[in-house]
Amino acid sequence: MHNLKRAEAIINRSNPVDLDLLVLPEMAFTGYNFGSAEEIDFHLEPTAAGPSSVWARTMARRFKCYVCVGYPEYAAVSPSSPNPTVVRYNSAVMVSPQGNVIANYRKHHLYTTDETWAAPGGEGFLTSYEERLGRFAMGICMDLNPERFLAPFNKYEFANHVLTSGAELVVMPMAWLTTHPELLEDEAPVPDSETLAYWIQRLQPIVDVGGYNGKEIIFIAANRCGTENGAAYAGTSVVLGIRQGNVKVYGCLGRGVEDLLIADIAPSFTKPISRWR
């Protein structure tokens, strides 16, 4: 409940208007760095129906915009199954301006921390279409990396999915760690350039193509910031535009800044991205 109110306070402080899309980080309200299924069980939420989803619906109706938020999901296997169980996922829900659930994506490439409690999403990466957003792809953090760090680096699984699916908008909640935790305080307002460069590197196939028929592809990364149970996050939430081989930074937060970033993509299409610890 504290984190829900904290998120709302950050948004109220910015007093945003004319929003199209609000994106929150991976597991935005529960924290991310859990070491076991037992540790996280108390925080699990039913599929698109827990506190995170209710908050998303409320904000979507209030601002008349789409809202995407990450959360830890439990999905009950049918009681008629021979061995009924609960399956846990690292998920993100997307709701419409009317408060309807339009997508529930389950992280496909798990990070080491996820593997202590979550199952990989079996449906692969997600692509969907909304008239106001166009065709969009969703991933969560580690999805941007080679699978289990074992797949060839140049396989670019997620980036190639974006290209083959024809998505023009990429939405990615994150809990991306920093390799320089010593800079979180002294250089909090400064983006983590190493992290930002790596994200762009993992989008290389998109950069090479440069968009579809001259159209721009928008990439949104909403990353956690600060520290949590020994984990130090890179922050640097960003909105990028990729067109004709060029990468444009529409907006970027510092590595340790807890705030709402609003990026004006076009006069009639504003995509905001928010993050907090």
Which residues are tagged catalytic?
A: 26, 107, 141
Token representation of residue 121 = 């999403």
Question: Which amino acid belongs to residue 155?
Answer: K
Output the six-digit token pair for 8. 């709302």
Cα(89)–Cα(120) distance, integer angstroms: 7
Q: Which residues contact 50 (CB under 8 A, 6 or more apart)?
A: 44, 71, 73
